[in-house]
């Protein structure tokens, strides 16, 4: 139940500042990143719904081969999100505001819980839900190093403003890359304090298709068991 989701994403928030106390932030780099964030937020403000493909690759500390999976994601304002794993196994995640339902056909089970309490289900769902208001939840930081995103766009590092939540205790940082022309999110990289790194890459983005509510309405199959999802605590 939620084995791949738990093993590969754990939680979405950061817990440690990206910049060391004795390392000053380059004002020019900071302004450049903030400009990109403004473009990103403006793009998602204008986006009523969005459909995209995703590929997830997770490198787990101590394992040579990364864990890979692919699927589709659907977003609709306000607060609707559907995340479908299609390969190598089927798993469906439905989010309505803070309510989450996770259906695993192989196990004939449906997990029901709250997004704010299920650390394993927050990445990158909460980030995608709040893409138009990143600066309300995160401190915006330039990403250290010389790496750049597609088209030379700067990479964005996000530091959560609220760090007291248990769900913020597993991740070291989130790095976001945007498409250079549209400013939609291209990749989300989650770096855990354990050394695990999960990268979500989005492609074939289709905004404002007029997705119907039926895409996000989940009806529990008659043969499925409904289970209350556990609240995952930090270490």
Q: Quote the pLDDT of residue 120.
A: 43
Q: How many domains does the chain have?
A: 1
The answer to whether position 234 is within a domain reads no
Pairwise CA distance, residues 42 & 232, whole Å? 33
Mean model confidence pLDDT for the chain: 79
Residues near 111 by Cβ (< 8 Å), separated by ≥ 6?
1, 2, 100, 101, 102, 103, 104, 227, 228, 229
Give the CA dihedral 13, 15, 18, 21, nearest 10 degrees: 160
Pairwise CA distance, residues 116 & 11, whole Å? 10
The answer to whether position 107 is within a domain reads yes
Cα–Cα–Cα angle for 15, 20, 24, rounded to 5 degrees: 125
The answer to whether position 19 is within a domain reads yes
Distances (CA, A) of 183 to 23, 45, 51, 113, 180: 29, 12, 15, 32, 6
19: pLDDT confidence band, cut at 50, 70 and 90? very low
Tens digit of each residue's pLDDT (9 = 90 or more) over 37-59: 899 988 988 999 999 999 999 99
Cα–Cα–Cα angle for 211, 217, 218, rounded to 5 degrees: 140
The CATH number of residue 185's host domain is: 2.50.20.10
Tens digit of each residue's pLDDT (9 = 90 or more) over 185-223: 999 988 887 888 889 999 999 999 999 999 999 999 999
Q: Quote the pLDDT of residue 172.
A: 72
- Predicted model pTM: 0.81
The answer to whether position 215 is within a domain reads yes
The answer to whether position 18 is within a domain reads yes
The answer to whether position 233 is within a domain reads no
Pairwise CA distance, residues 231 & 132, whole Å? 27
**What is the residue range of 115's domain?**
3-228
* 204 CA to centre of own chain: 17
């Amino acid at each position: 139940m939620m084995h791949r989701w738990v093993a590969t994403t754990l939680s979405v928030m950061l817990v440690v500042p990206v910049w060391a106390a004795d390392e000053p932030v380059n004002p020019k780099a900071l302004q450049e990143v903030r400009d990109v964030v403004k473009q990103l937020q403006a793009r998602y403000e204008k986006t009523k719904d969005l459909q995209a493909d995703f590929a997830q690759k997770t490198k787990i500390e101590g394992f040579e081969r990364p864990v890979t999976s692919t699927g589709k994601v659907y977003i609709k304002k306000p607060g609707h999100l559907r995340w479908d794993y299609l390969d190598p196994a089927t798993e469906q995640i439905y989010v309505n505001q803070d309510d989450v339902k996770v259906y695993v056909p192989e196990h004939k089970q449906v997990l029901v819980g709250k997004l704010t309490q299920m650390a394993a289900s927050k990445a990158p769902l909460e980030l995608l839900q709040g893409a138009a208001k990143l600066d309300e939840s995160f401190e915006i930081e330039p990403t250290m190093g010389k790496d750049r995103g597609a088209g030379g766009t700067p990479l964005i590092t996000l530091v959560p403003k609220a760090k007291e939540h248990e769900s913020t205790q597993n991740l070291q940082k989130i790095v976001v890359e945007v498409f250079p022309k549209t400013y939609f999110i291209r990749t989300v990289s989650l770096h855990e304090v354990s050394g695990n790194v999960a990268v979500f890459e989005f492609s074939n983005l289709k905004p404002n298709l007029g997705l119907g509510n039926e895409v996000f309405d989940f009806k529990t199959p008659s043969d499925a068991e409904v289970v209350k999802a556990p609240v995952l605590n930090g270490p």
